[in-house]
């Protein structure tokens, strides 16, 4: 199971310096095992999410009582933490990986190529691929190597308030990705759902966006028929200068600046968009499954989910492939035990635990179709919207992403604040991004 590219302390410390943050001490939570023989599992999670991870570990230990597991909880900067651990010769055996950042670590030889393991078990490999969303699975395929197996889909969609739609005498929006609504239909609904008092102040917004707004705008660009980057894995260029993409971003921006059915984009965070939806002060909210538990905790909120609208140049509704996976450290002395755990956690049993939790959307189709997943989402009628992995486009997978991301945020903000239209992307921003991709 040798890695195709080894790493040394100097290489890793260079990478850690580039990531640019000091590492806070890791909190080690028990499975009660603190000896040197324990398999170490590094992940990041909120308290309720951590409980799901520990449940998976408990189920695993029932089958493998001989494999001890010690959990290592990530701080706010997992990438730097991983680099520092590995540079010091203490790389965790199993690591949580993120779609937008894993390629940086893969370039530094952190991960075992899982192809070397899957090739030894072709029957399981074939079964796994058959049950997997191809889009999710291939997200972790970088430079002809499989660096992780996906454990969840964290794409975005629209939450909508059923009562507010009914009060406005609007028909419910589409229930499936195949039955998308248009930009115009979405805008008409947002207008009908935006209410103002006698002085003209908004008392109910048609649409709010609790997500990262420049990612959201890019999803509207992708829903007008154009990928954000080409190719999406290890991209060589961005498509933000494509006319169709520009039109999608401009449509999103105009929801705020022109049509005023959404709060000013630069103020959304301070206004707490997610709270506005939860309190019935906004009719639609763009977010992911991670908000599901918070919204179900609101007894007076009667909501469902629907798909993103499609622009005039688009052909089908698309989400984004937000996903996390599990990787094995290339220098782990416990690769066989690590593989048993990764295989379990990303396989049918581990995925069933995820499905029943209601906290994640599992990666395997069988888990999505399970009674456990349906029972955990009894308040949702449009359950097929959560089956969106194959209706999603990748966000860019590139080691250059931290630098590209910073440039994109600054450039999009120029448009969101009304300093320029999205046509401005053609006048330098696209070239600046392409230069960063070429230099990485």
* pLDDT tens, residue by residue, 129-182: 999 999 999 999 999 999 999 999 999 999 999 999 999 999 999 999 999 999
For 340-353, the pLDDT digits (tens) are 999 999 999 999 99
Is pLDDT of 55 > 70? Answer: yes
For residue 346, being part of any structural domain is answered with yes
DSSP state of 24: P
Residue keyed to tokens 């209601």: 358
Domain with 262, as residue range(s), is: 156-320+400-439
Q: What pLDDT sits at residue 16?
A: 40
Contact 314, 223 (CB under 8 A): yes
Q: Which of 8-22, 49-63, 269-283, 316-330 has the lowest mean pLDDT?
A: 8-22
Residue 42 has pLDDT above 80, yes or no: yes
Q: Is it the case that residue 321 has pLDDT exceeding 80?
A: yes
Q: Is residue 102 included in any domain, yes or no?
A: yes
Residue 27 is predicted with a pLDDT of: 38
The residue with tokens 């990764």 is 342
Question: What per-residue confidence (pLDDT) applies to 3?
Answer: 39
| One domain for residues 288 and 430 | yes
Q: Does one domain contain both 305 and 206?
A: yes
Q: pLDDT band at residue 270, thresholds of 50, 70 and 90?
A: low
Co-location of 268 and 304 in the same domain? yes
Mean pLDDT over residues 262-277, rounded?
Answer: 82
**Is residue 61 domain-resident?**
yes
Poorest-pLDDT segment among 175-179, 243-247, 397-401: 175-179
Residue 13 has pLDDT above 70, yes or no: no
Question: What is residue 269's predicted lDDT score, i.e. its pLDDT?
Answer: 60
* DSSP of 290-330: GGHHHHHT-TT--EEEEPPPB-TT--S--EEE-EEEEEEBT
Percent of the chain clearing pLDDT 90 (strictly above): 87
Domain end: 394, 409, 429, which one? 394
DSSP state of 396: P
* Whether the predicted pLDDT of 244 surpasses 70: yes
> Are both 275 and 410 inside the same structural domain?
yes
Preceding omega of 231 cis (within 30 degrees of 0): yes
Instruction: Tell me the average pLDDT across 430-437.
Output: 97
List, edge to edge, every strand of the sheet that includes 94-98. Answer: 27-29, 69-73, 39-43, 94-98, 323-328, 149-153, 361-362
pLDDT surpasses 70 at 25: no
User: Does residue 362 register a pLDDT over 70?
Assistant: yes
Can you tell me which residue has the tokens 């999803």?
A: 219
Report CA-CA distances (Å) from 286 to 43, 100, 107, 232, 392.
Answer: 26, 20, 33, 22, 15
Structurally, the chain folds into a number of domains equal to 2
- Decide if 165 is inside a domain: yes
Burial (Cβ within 10 Å: 0-12, 13-18, ≥19) of residue 45: middle
Q: What is residue 36's predicted lDDT score, i.e. its pLDDT?
A: 73
Q: Are residues 69 and 108 in the same domain?
A: yes
Instruction: State the pLDDT at residue 267.
Output: 72
Rg from Cα positions in the chain: 22
Report residue 6's pLDDT band, with 50, 70 and 90 as the boundaries: very low
Give domain status of residue 1, yes or no. no
Tell me phi and psi for residue 37, to 5 degrees. -85, -10
pLDDT-wise least confident of 119-123, 223-227, 263-267, 378-382? 263-267
What residues contact 190, with CB distance under 8 A and at least 6 apart?
206, 207, 255, 259, 261, 262, 283, 284
Q: Are 262 and 282 in contact (CB under 8 A)?
A: no
278 and 205 in a common domain = yes
Provide mean pLDDT across the span 68-94: 95
Mean pLDDT, residues 92-119: 97
Q: Collapsing DSSP states into helix, strand and coil, what is residue 335?
A: helix
| 2 in any annotated domain | no
Residues 300 and 354 in one domain: no
Q: What is the pLDDT of residues 174-213, one digit of tens each?
A: 999 999 999 999 999 999 999 999 999 999 999 999 999 9
Is the distance from CB of 149 to CB of 338 less than 8 angstroms? Answer: no
Q: What pLDDT does 367 receive?
A: 97
Confidence label for 266 from pLDDT (cuts 50, 70 and 90): confident
- Domain contains 3: no
Residue 387 and residue 415 share a domain: no
């Amino acid at each position: 199971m040798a890695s195709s590219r080894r790493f040394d302390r100097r290489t890793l410390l260079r990478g850690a310096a580039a990531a640019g943050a000091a590492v806070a001490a890791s909190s080690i939570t028990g499975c009660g095992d603190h000896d040197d023989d324990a398999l170490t599992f590094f992940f990041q999670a909120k308290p309720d999410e951590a409980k799901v991870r520990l449940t998976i570990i408990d189920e695993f230990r029932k089958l493998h009582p001989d494999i001890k597991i010690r959990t290592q909880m990530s701080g706010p900067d997992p990438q730097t933490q991983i680099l520092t651990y590995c540079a010091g010769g203490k790389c965790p055996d199993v690591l949580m990986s993120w779609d937008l950042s894993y390629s940086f670590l893969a370039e530094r030889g952190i991960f075992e190529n899982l192809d070397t393991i899957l090739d030894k078990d072709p029957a399981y490999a074939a079964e796994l691929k058959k049950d997997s969303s191809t889009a999710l699975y291939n997200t972790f395929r970088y430079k002809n190597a499989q660096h992780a197996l996906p454990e969840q889909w964290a794409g975005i969609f629209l939450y909508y308030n059923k009562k507010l739609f009914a009060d406005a005498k609007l028909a419910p929006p589409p229930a499936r990705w195949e039955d998308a609504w248009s930009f115009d239909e979405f805008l008409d609904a947002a207008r009908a759902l935006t209410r103002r008092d006698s002085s003209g102040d908004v008392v109910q917004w048609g649409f709010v966006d609790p997500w990262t707004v420049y990612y959201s705008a890019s999803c509207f660009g992708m829903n007008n028929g154009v990928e954000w980057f080409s190719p999406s894995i290890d991209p060589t260029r961005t498509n933000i200068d494509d006319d169709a993409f520009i039109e999608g971003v401009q449509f999103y921006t105009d929801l705020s600046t022109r049509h005023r059915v959404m709060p000013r984009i630069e103020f959304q965070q301070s206004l707490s968009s997610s709270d506005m939806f939860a309190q019935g002060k906004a009719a639609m909210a763009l977010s992911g499954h991670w908000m599901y538990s918070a919204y179900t905790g609101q007894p007076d909120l009667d909501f469902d989910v629907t798909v993103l609208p499609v622009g005039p140049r688009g052909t089908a509704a698309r989400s984004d492939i937000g996903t996390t996976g599990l990787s094995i450290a290339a220098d782990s002395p416990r690769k066989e035990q690590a593989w048993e755990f990764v295989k379990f956690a990303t396989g049918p049993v581990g995925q069933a635990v995820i499905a029943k939790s209601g906290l994640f959307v599992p990666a395997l189709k069988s888990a999505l179709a399970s009674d456990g997943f349906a029972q955990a989402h009894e308040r949702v009628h449009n359950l097929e919207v959560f089956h969106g992995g194959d209706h999603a486009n990748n966000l860019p997978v590139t080691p250059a992403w931290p630098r590209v991301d910073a440039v994109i945020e600054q450039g999009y903000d120029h448009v969101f604040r009304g300093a320029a239209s999205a046509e401005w992307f053609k006048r330098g921003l696209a070239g600046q991004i392409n230069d960063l991709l070429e230099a990485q």
